[in-house]
Amino acid sequence: MLLAIDIGNSNVSLGVFQGETLRLRAKISVQARRSADEYAAMLYDLLRLHGVAREGIDGCILSSVVPGVTGLVEAAARTVTGLSPVRVGPGIRTGFRIRIDDPSQLGGDLVADTLAALTEYGAPLVLVDAGTVTSVAAVDADRTYLGGCILPGIRASAALLKETTALLPAIELAGPEEACLGRSSAEAIRRGLLLGNAMMVDGFIDRYTALPGMAGAVCVATGGSCELVTALCRREVVRDPDLTLKGLRYLYESSQPRKPRRPAP
């Protein structure tokens, strides 16, 4: 079995694959003040809770966008599994080209998203990862990651509105709500966020598909807020909440030494 770990700004996402089957998916909140032992205890308990024997885990891969937590979770995984995780970073085989100024700046989660989407949906692609931040990226028909845009996540935007205004209320984000006219402050905020994010994604799809090599691109969305962000899109969007974990599995497989071919008899 393979343990896949993605450390995001808000959560550590965990997945255990048995072959191609995602047997376990779970989340641990990110807290830099936790020790490696605390992360190890939580990982150990989650595996036991879901009936996964740690002795059966024979591979581990980790991606992270939070440097201060990376070493802690890596040490925790090593304690629980006895394995040194493969880290997603420079030098790992991705299976696609990255055309940005510094490819090392592309987050491991986006590398995993891209490989999984290319493997499962083909190219070209518009990729939406909606979490603490929302990223929208373009991958052309030649499997080249062209770049993208990063914006505040929908939940972070809602929290910022409440924190920086005196009279606007806190709201609960829920959707979809088709009406574009809110008739109270709470309705106006909720519908503004839901419709605004949907129109943003639609707009990026329109602009990205007009680029060379992007005609007919499939839009694939993932992340904890992908349902909220894309619920009111007018353009077709494929939602795949397990995209990052699946991408980590593909990256792990591509990182393994290739077996030498036997000479022909």
- Determine the Cα–Cα distance for residues 92 and 95; give it in Å rounded to an integer: 9
CB 69 within 8 A of CB 30: yes
Determine how β-strand 21-29 pairs with β-strand 11-18. Answer: antiparallel
Sign of CA dihedral 192, 198, 202, 207: positive
Element holding 112 (H helix, E strand): helix 108-121
Burial class (CB in 10 A: 0-12, 13-18, 19+), 230: buried
* Catalytic residue, candidates 109, 113, 129, 240: 109
E strands, 30-143, in order: 59-64, 86-87, 97-98, 125-130, 133-139
Q: How many CB atoms lie within 10 A of CB 131?
A: 24
Q: Which residues pair with 87 in a beta bridge?
A: 62
37 is catalytic: no
- Determine the Cα–Cα distance for residues 159 and 75; give it in Å rounded to an integer: 33
Task: Give SS3 for 62.
Answer: strand
Sign of CA dihedral 162, 166, 171, 173: negative
Provide the annotated active-site residues. 109
